[in-house]
Amino acid sequence: MPDAGEVRLQEGGPRAPLRPTAEPPQRRLLKLLLIASPHHRATPDLRGLVHFLQSEDFGFEVSFDVADPAQRPELLELHRLVATPALIKLEPAPRQVFAGNTLLQQLRNWLPRWQQLEVVSGLGMSLRPPESDGSRTQRELQLEDQVLVLRQENETLIERLRVQERLLRMVAHELRTPLTASKLALQSLNLGQIDQARFRDVLGRRLDDIEQLSKDLLEVGTTRWEALFNPQRLALGPVAAEAILELEKLWVGRDLELITDIPTDLPDVCADQRRMRQVLLNLLENAFKYTPDGGKVTLTILHRTSQWLQVSVCDSGPGIPRDEQERIFLERVRLPQTSATTSGFGVGLSVCRRITEVHGGRIWVVSEPGEGACFHFTVPVWDGQGAS
């Protein structure tokens, strides 16, 4: 096997092949485009993908281009991407798009077929193999590849339609609750059962519910959400303190015991300030909402390792059944023991999961029914913490 040479991943400008041309010049070009954020490129799958392309000889001259969706958002629309990271085969035709967390495995699965087509192409169209020996012509291989690509794109479109259908059902179901409450409040006002102040209070809160639902649904459904991620050096303690003050109306006057443990010597983190505030507001709001009057809510930030901070938000509410503890981060869930006494749409935790994962961290819950719940998530420490 020839020496793989040096790999340079550049963004913007012409791309040099990953491997020097050690074969005859007739070798065809395999042109690949990886659309992934810096965080995604640090994952084992994409590191393995780069190493695989660097160290193997596929019978092609490989050109590998890397683009950050935050810097090149037009590529998401151009290639009709439904998720990132994504690997796109631009040449040889037909174009193919691979997405998800198994790009290396998907590439391995398809390379033999591309190599087979390359061998047939090298023989020339005039050398049509006999039909009786089971061989396939170049045209047959191309058509078969096109069918497989169309099938892959069809499955992607079907999944998008399923997601949209679920979101529409969610909207139709959840809008009924605030709309019904508003209608009942109007009827009570007309019957003289409540005054104007009470009516305005109910109507205002229900409109807030509808607004928050629409925001959450848009963030869950958008395909360009991760492209808006803007990590910077951030002091997390002040962000947490601001979140508590912003939710003051949810805990003041309820005899709640609010405990905070935020050390002053915490290292800075690498995070998007708006997104971190969103996670903290969501978890704290849930904690205040599900904790009964006289209960306890705690917020703790720990320097867990040299690379991670851990944020924990705990309450003394009804808790979460074990069989629901994973599902609540994947889809909207209203727990039977709390749905009659609290509002909420269950979409916020899905947003929290996406935010923590795009930061490279994770989120999880520890809970026992009747003993409250503790939500934990991790945030990466700023790499240049010790730099001047």
Cα–Cα–Cα angle for 314, 280, 373, rounded to 5 degrees: 20
Top pLDDT among 214 and 276 is at 276
Q: How many CB atoms lie within 10 A of CB 70?
A: 16
* DSSP codes of every residue in 38-78: HHHHTSHHHHHHHHHHHH---SSEEEEEEE-TTT-THHHHH
Contact call for residues 232 and 272 (beta carbons, < 8 A): yes
216 vs 349: CA distance, rounded Å: 10
Q: How confident is the model at residue 18 (pLDDT cuts 50, 70, 90)?
A: low
For the entire predicted model, the pTM comes to 0.49
- First CA to last CA distance, the chain: 46
pLDDT at 233 over 50: yes
**CATH class for the domain made up of 229-388:** alpha beta
- Predicted pLDDT at 63: 86
Mean pLDDT of the chain: 76
- Is the four-CA dihedral 200, 205, 207, 208 of positive or negative sign? positive
Q: What per-residue confidence (pLDDT) applies to 367?
A: 92
Residue 134 contacts by C-beta under 8 Å, 6 or more apart in sequence? none
The residues, any chain, with a CB within 8 Å of residue 369's CB and separated by 6 or more, are 318, 319, 320, 321, 337
387 vs 375, more confident: 375
Distance between CA atoms of 64 and 127, rounded to whole angstroms? 32
Per-residue pLDDT tens digits for 266-319? 999 999 988 898 899 889 999 999 999 999 999 999 998 888 999 999 999 999
- CB within 8 A of 57, min separation 6: which ones? 1, 2, 4, 19, 22
Coil, helix or strand for 334? coil
Mean pLDDT of all residues in 178-189: 83
Q: How far is CA 255 from CA 250, 251, 292, 296, in A?
A: 11, 8, 9, 9
The CATH code for residues 29-127 is 3.40.30.10
Residues 6 or more apart whose CB falls under 8 angstroms from that of 320 comprise: 328, 335, 365, 367, 369, 373
Among 139-148, 216-225, 231-240, 333-342, name the one with the lowest average pLDDT: 333-342
Is the pLDDT at 250 greater than 90? The verdict is no
The angle at the Cα of 329, spanning 323 to 330, to the nearest 5 degrees, equals 90
pLDDT at position 124 is 43
Give residue 208's region: left, alpha or beta (phi > 0; psi -120 to 50): alpha
- pLDDT at res. 171: 64
* DSSP secondary structure letter of residue 366: E
Domain positions in the chain: 29-127, 158-227, 229-388
Whether the pLDDT of residue 46 is over 80: the answer is yes
